[in-house]
Amino acid sequence: MLIDDEMSARKLMRASINWESLDMEVVGEAASGIEAINVIDDMKPDIAFVDISMPFMNGIEFTEVATKRYPELVIIIMTAIDEFEYARKCVSLPVFEYMLKPMVRAEVTGVLERAKAKLDAREPSGEDNESDQDDPADMGSSSMEQIRKYIEANYTDSRLNLTSVAQNFGFSSSYLSRRFKQETGKNFVEFLTECRMNAATKLALANVKMFNASSQVGIPDPNYFGKCFKKYTGVSYSEYGK
């Protein structure tokens, strides 16, 4: 997964690395740490390239959140030379490598080869291999209704995602994802986004500024909020308000 607020940097990474030769693929991108946290449950990357300097949630803050939820995620921090010492001071974080921008293709390939060796050597205990033995045979409609109400009551929290809700109710994220779709007909992200966008449309009609509305509905990155709003309503936030 490529996480960088510069689209040109993400495009260059996609195009310049021979992912297929490494037996890898880019499963997705994000333009901010907040956007990445919102979509990472669906993408389930093994490796994340993370720019250190991003608005609303920088690369260090993203790493702190992401590695708590995904301890085996391989984080590669991308940083400019004037930020390098700051990045290296964050030694308590489980960062696999720090790389200077602009990136050199051969160096990136070398780091990816080392990351692949680490991933290949680990025991098969990732989320895709997660057993549902500890989960109940039947979640029950009452439990799902509680989960729906919990999401509706807490969607304003930008840290809310599939993993955090699953942990709160004592289920594995893979089990909750599957049962949520079965019970509601929507995947978790669709339902969470619907809650946030329903609230956002009311704020737009009340002439609340987009910057304020985005943070009030749990998406503090206005750019990502704008994308979600237009996808949900078909028009921009300002057009909807008019």
Domain contains 18: yes
Amino acid at 125: S
Examine the domain organization and report whether 158 and 124 are in the same domain.
Answer: no
Q: Specify the pLDDT at position 91.
A: 60
**Structural domain of 172:** 141-241
What CATH number did the domain enclosing 85 receive? 3.40.50.2300
Q: Which of 63, 98, 128 is the last residue of a domain?
A: 128
Q: Specify the pLDDT at position 50.
A: 96
Lowest mean pLDDT among 62-71, 88-97, 211-220: 88-97
Examine the domain organization and report whether 89 and 158 are in the same domain.
Answer: no
- What would the mean pLDDT of 62-89 be, rounded to a whole number? 84
Average pLDDT, the chain: 86
CA contacts within 13 A on the Cβ side of 199: 20
Secondary structure element (H or E) that encloses residue 52, with its range: none
Q: Which two structure tokens, joined as six digits, stand for 65?
A: 């959140």
Asked whether the beta carbons of 77 and 87 are under 8 A apart, the reply is: yes
Quote the pTM value. 0.66
Chain segment 22-31, per-residue pLDDT in tens: 989 999 999 9
Ranges of H-type helices in 33-185: 33-43, 59-69, 84-89, 105-121, 141-154, 162-169, 173-184
Query: What percent of the chain lies above the pLDDT cut of 70?
Result: 89
In angstroms, the CA 24 to CA 105 distance is: 15
**Domains held by the chain: number:** 2
